[in-house]
């Protein structure tokens, strides 16, 4: 470990131990460059227990960054060295840089939702970046024994949930996000087992709760998920079927259960799940 990294680790651990408060004369900008450099470090203690919680505290809780600083941070997080670092690779440590870059993006969008500061160009940029990321990420591992959480589908879903609630989000974007969710569920390679389905269900639950899309459009999309049940039998078909079934169950039982659903949506979920459940009578 280099001397610079050793000092950074000491500093960020001190900051975390001090409830993310800085010493006299320090400011967040003194540490952000190195936080971004090591955002995807293979050591989960540094990446997941120190750097991300510090971003969370400084962006979400304490609002320590100016609007200009948040815009600049967003540009770095969405660049080819962060969100798209070695995009398309799978099974290596590059996934941590991508998935832990998407989490602070969600935090920044959350701040924008509360008090808008991104202009239309900024918003279009982050929208394109998140949709591209969700479609191009190939490493869908959840918990990696030797490296901790990767969780790309879940982290990306958190950011998409913030995106759809932004004031600039329109019906076309909502439909693009639904398409991206379907693509993730029908990924052809990975059955989700670390509650990624719950994080994706949150997006659709938000759309329903905040009436971001007409009920009919969401019901039609839910029905379309079941089409994979009629695909030719293959491993890819099986993955799509299992992921879609688990997602529908997560959505159905979210919060207060089926009683809170519009009847059209509840019927669509029940019908689609039945088509995907080969054990149903």
pLDDT of residue 86: 98
- Predicted local confidence at residue 65, as pLDDT: 96
Q: Provide the greatest CA pair distance for the chain.
A: 68
Average pLDDT score over residue span 185-209: 96
| 8 A C-beta contact, residue 247 and residue 197 | yes
Sign of CA dihedral 92, 93, 96, 101: negative
pLDDT digits (tens, 9 = 90+) for 88-139: 999 999 999 999 999 999 999 999 999 999 999 999 999 999 999 999 999 9
* Three-class SS state of 28: coil
More confident of the two residues 244 and 273: 244
Report the pLDDT averaged over residues 192-212: 96
Asked if 240 and 185 touch (Cβ cutoff 8 Å), the reply is yes
pLDDT at 16: 94
Q: For 27-55, what is each residue's pLDDT tens digit?
A: 999 999 999 999 999 999 999 999 999 99
Choose between 267 and 246: higher pLDDT: 246
The dihedral formed by the CA atoms of 77, 212, 59 and 105, expressed in degrees to the nearest 10:
-10
As a whole number, the mean pLDDT across the chain is 95
pLDDT for position 260: 59
- Please identify which residue in the block is written with the tokens 């689609």: 272
* Closest to 276 in 3D by CA, of 240, 226, 234, 235: 226
Residue 1 has pLDDT above 90, yes or no: no
pLDDT, residue 258, reads 47
- Backbone dihedral angles phi then psi of residue 148, each to the nearest 5 degrees: 85, -155
| Bridge partners for 149 per DSSP | 143
- Copy the structure tokens of residue 267: 């019927």
Question: Is the distance from CB of 214 to CB of 178 less than 8 angstroms?
Answer: no
> What average pLDDT does range 62-74 have in this prediction?
97
Is 90 exceeded by the pLDDT of residue 80?
yes
- In this predicted structure, the answer to whether residue 261 has a pLDDT above a threshold of 90 is no
The upper half-sphere exposure of residue 46, i.e. CA atoms within 13 Å in the direction of its Cβ, equals 21
pLDDT above 60 for 259: no
Q: Which residues pair with 27 in a beta bridge?
A: none
- Statement: residue 264 has pLDDT above 50: yes
The answer to whether 95 touches 152, Cβ cutoff 8 Å, is: yes
Residue 221 pLDDT greater than 70, yes or no: yes
pLDDT at res. 280: 67
> pLDDT exceeding 90 applies to what percent of the chain?
89
Does residue 274 carry a pLDDT above 70? yes
Percent of the chain with pLDDT over 70: 97
Q: What is the mean pLDDT of residues 194-206?
A: 96
Q: How far is residue 1's CA from residue 38's CA, in Å, rounded to a whole number?
A: 12
Predicted confidence (pLDDT) at residue 257 exceeds the cutoff of 70 = no
User: What pLDDT is attached to residue 74?
Assistant: 98
Residue 281 confidence class, pLDDT cut points 50, 70, 90: low
């Amino acid at each position: 470990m280099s001397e610079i990294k050793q000092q950074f680790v000491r500093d960020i651990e001190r900051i975390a131990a001090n409830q993310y408060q800085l010493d006299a004369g320090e400011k967040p900008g003194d540490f952000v460059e190195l936080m971004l450099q090591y955002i995807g470090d293979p050591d989960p203690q540094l990446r997941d227990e120190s750097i991300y919680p510090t971003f969370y505290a400084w962006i979400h809780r304490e609002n320590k960054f100016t609007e200009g600083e948040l815009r600049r941070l967003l540009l770095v997080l969405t660049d080819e060295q962060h969100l798209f670092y070695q995009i398309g690779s799978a099974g290596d440590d590059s996934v941590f840089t991508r998935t832990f870059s998407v989490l602070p993006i969600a935090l920044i969008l959350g701040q924008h939702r509360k008090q808008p500061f991104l202009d239309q160009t900024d918003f279009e940029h982050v929208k394109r970046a998140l949709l591209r990321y969700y479609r191009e990420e190939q490493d869908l591992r959840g918990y990696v024994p030797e490296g901790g959480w990767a969780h790309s589908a879940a982290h990306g879903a958190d950011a998409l949930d913030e995106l759809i609630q932004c004031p600039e989000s329109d019906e076309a974007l909502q439909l693009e996000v639904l398409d991206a969710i379907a693509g993730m569920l029908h990924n052809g390679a990975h059955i989700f087992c670390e509650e990624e389905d719950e994080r994706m269900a949150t997006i659709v639950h938000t759309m329903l709760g905040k009436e971001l899309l007409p009920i009919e459009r969401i019901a039609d999309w839910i029905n379309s998920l079941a089409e994979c049940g009629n695909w030719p039998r293959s491993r890819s078909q099986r993955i799509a079927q299992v992921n879609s079934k688990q997602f529908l169950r997560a959505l159905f039982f979210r919060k207060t259960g089926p009683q809170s659903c519009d009847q059209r949506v509840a019927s669509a979920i029940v019908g689609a799940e039945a088509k995907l459940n080969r054990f149903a009578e």
